[in-house]
Amino acid sequence: MRTLIKALAMLVLAAAGGATAQSDATSKDLPDWSGIWSMVGPTVFDAATVEPRNGLAGNPGVRERPPYTAAWEAKYLATIELVKKGLFPDPISTCGTPHGFPRLMNLPDVYEFAVRPEQTWIIGENGPSILRVYTDGRAHPGPDDLWPTFTGDSVGRWEGDTLVFDTIGIKGEDGTILDRTGLTLSQQAHIVTRLRKIDAETLEAEILIEDPLALTAPWRVTKRYRKQAGGSRAYDYACAENNRNPIGANGETLTLDADGNVIDILDE
């Protein structure tokens, strides 16, 4: 009877789309990604193509060179002009939405990684910024059970000490941007990330993005993260607790001082 009940339970899980296949990895097989990590460099998503070479995301005229289609390039150019005028309201600056993926890999805040055989969590300090990567053998949900979310749906596997994960179902341009230059993707984006430790103090993420609406070719981006000194901690905080970037009457993203006074230099 006990065997029959167990078999029936497995069938119910399978029918519900649950995963019954378990990862071959065990806890002792997994790499040590413990500690606190921070991204190397500024929050430019694709530092390899940024113009000007040392440009910072959010500064007027700064851009990157993804292999955009003509339509997406036109959208990007229009956004760059809004940034020049201070009229592009980054939803993160205004505490509007979660960071989403793949912007979650491009944060100024520190990171932690919770690694287990059945799943890995990538946790950004400024919440909610959690990416769940399932490595228990499950597949992506079918089209009737998948809807766009900020972080999408990620399933992965371990190739030695490298976590390889596949992400679909992101909100795209309707819900997230990649950095403050205004880079976006469509909801049809398919992203494969290879995350591994390249030395004792450095994690590297190789991100391959395919998007039939936004891109004419695969877009490869590499991000690195440096381990912080032992004893470092991550503390949660919420953007809305200290939101100094309201939107002005003319659409400008404003910056306030501690007393709530506007400190931006605005055009008359």
Q: Tell me: the pLDDT tens digits for 165-174? A: 999 999 988 7
20-56 per-position pLDDT tens digit: 344 556 777 899 999 999 999 999 999 999 999 999 9
Q: Does 235 have pLDDT greater than 60?
A: yes
The CA distance from 1 to 251, in Å, is: 67
| Higher per-residue pLDDT: 161 or 254 | 161
Structure tokens at 162: 């490298």
pLDDT of residue 241: 64
| Higher per-residue pLDDT: 14 or 231 | 231
What is the residue-wise DSSP string for 42-74? Answer: -S-TTGGG-BSTT--TTSTT-B----B-HHHHH
| Higher per-residue pLDDT: 134 or 248 | 134
Task: Find the range with the poorest average confidence among 25-39, 61-75, 132-146.
Answer: 25-39
pLDDT of residue 244: 66
Task: Find the range with the poorest average confidence among 53-57, 74-78, 240-244, 251-255.
Answer: 240-244
Structure tokens at 1: 């009877």
Query: pLDDT confidence of 266, banded at 50, 70, 90?
Result: low
The CA distance from 139 to 142, in Å, is: 9
One-letter amino acid identity for 121?
W
CATH placement of domain 27-238:
2.40.128.20
Structure tokens at 59: 């500064």
Cα atoms found within 13 Å of the Cα of residue 98, Cβ hemisphere only: 20
| Higher per-residue pLDDT: 193 or 252 | 193
Query: pLDDT confidence of 261, banded at 50, 70, 90?
Result: confident
pLDDT of residue 3: 45
pLDDT of residue 106: 96
pLDDT of residue 19: 37
Q: Does 94 have pLDDT greater than 80?
A: no
Query: pLDDT confidence of 12, banded at 50, 70, 90?
Result: very low
pLDDT of residue 175: 77
pLDDT of residue 87: 87
pLDDT of residue 44: 97
One-letter amino acid identity for 155?
V
Task: Give the residue-averaged pLDDT of 61-89.
Answer: 95
